[in-house]
């Protein structure tokens, strides 16, 4: 393997790299002196890349109009209970994203009770050192409960549910991206333990350039 290929694949397989498990464009941002054709050739040698190469479809989407950071965040849960045994019994991921900046935060939780979600969201607020004016989610009881509502009221954050088939479209798109990267990590590592690299993967996402949704 030549040095360029080695550099490209090292960036691709490093969970904390901004090019982690990404495509040609994202890796080109890191390796600007390497031609895109060379990056493509290197990626084609990886079964992880070829197996999970995204097929792009064009869909009409309702525009989410937010004009400043930390005005509206969206929250959701990803269910990963089938991997709990390998991940210190964590069964869910609380995912939160700023709709304007697309900056994301993730906290692993063992149960989806109001208390667990409240503790995890509190940790995210401390990590962000910011808080939103509004938070949207689906109508799940993990969000709409007395414990979480009291916490949000104290922090002057207004929670509302999205009543449509689009749900919280920005956070759901992030969820898809996150799970794609986790699955690629599973394939590359040959194991289903993600908990030790979860924050590296989230950091990699936040370091990436994002298209406006």
Q: For the segment 97-112, what is each residue's pLDDT rounded down to a tens digit?
A: 999 999 999 999 999 9
pLDDT (average), residues 24-38: 64
- The answer, yes or no, to whether residue 213 has pLDDT greater than 60, is no
CB 120 within 8 A of CB 128: no
| Under 8 Å between Cβ of 213 and 61 | yes
Residue 163 structure tokens: 């009543």
Shared domain for 24 and 73, answered yes or no, is no
Q: Which pLDDT band holds residue 136 (cuts at 50, 70, 90)?
A: very high
- 103: CATH: 3.30.420.10
Note whether 73 and 51 are same-domain residues.
no
Q: What average pLDDT is seen over the chain?
A: 82
Rg (CA), the chain: 18
124 and 196 assigned to the same domain: yes
The residue segments making up the domain with residue 187 are 67-213
pLDDT exceeds 60 at position 31: yes
Same domain membership, residue 27 and residue 71:
no
Residues 125 and 203 in one domain: yes
Count the Cβ atoms, other than its own, within 10 Å of residue 16: 13
Q: Taking Cα atoms as reference points, which of 175, 195, 170 lies closest to residue 185?
A: 195
Predicted confidence at residue 176, as pLDDT, reads 95
Average the pLDDT over 18-24 and give the result.
61
Can you tell me the distance from the alpha carbon of 195 to that of 198, in angstroms, rounded to the nearest whole number?
5
Whole-angstrom distance, CA of residue 160 vs CA of residue 74: 10
Residue 30, pLDDT > 70, answer no
Cβ neighbour number for residue 80 with a 10 Å cutoff: 19
Same domain for 48 and 105, yes or no, is no
For residues 109 and 74, membership in a common domain is answered with yes
pLDDT band with cut points at 50, 70 and 90 for residue 208: confident
Would you call 137 helix, strand, or coil by DSSP?
Answer: strand
Residues 7 and 102 in one domain: no
Q: In this structure, are 34 and 129 located in the same domain?
A: no
How many domains does the chain contain in total? 2
The structure's pTM equals 0.72
208 and 142 assigned to the same domain? yes
- C-alpha span between 166 and 163 (Å, rounded): 8
- pLDDT digit string, tens, across residues 144-170: 999 999 999 999 999 999 765 455 689
């Amino acid at each position: 393997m030549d040095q360029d290929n080695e550099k490209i694949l090292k960036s691709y397989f490093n969970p904390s790299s901004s090019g982690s498990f990404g495509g040609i464009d994202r890796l080109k941002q890191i390796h600007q002196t390497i031609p895109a054709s060379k990056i493509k050739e290197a990626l084609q040698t990886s079964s992880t890349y070829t197996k999970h190469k995204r097929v792009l479809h064009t869909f009409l989407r309702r525009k989410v109009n937010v004009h400043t950071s930390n005005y509206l965040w969206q929250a959701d849960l990803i269910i990963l209970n089938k991997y709990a045994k390998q991940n210190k019994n964590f069964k869910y991921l609380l995912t939160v994203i700023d709709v304007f900046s697309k900056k994301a935060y993730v906290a692993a939780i063992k149960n989806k009770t109001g208390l667990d979600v409240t503790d995890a969201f509190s940790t995210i607020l401390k990590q962000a050192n910011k808080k939103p004016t509004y938070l949207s989610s689906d109508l799940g009881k993990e969000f709409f409960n007395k414990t979480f509502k009291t916490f949000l009221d104290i922090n002057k954050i207004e929670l509302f549910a999205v009543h449509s088939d689009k749900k919280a479209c920005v956070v759901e798109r992030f969820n898809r991206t996150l799970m794609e990267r986790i699955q690629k990590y599973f394939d590359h590592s040959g194991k289903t333990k993600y908990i030790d690299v979860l924050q590296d993967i989230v950091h990699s996402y936040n370091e990436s350039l994002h298209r406006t949704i």
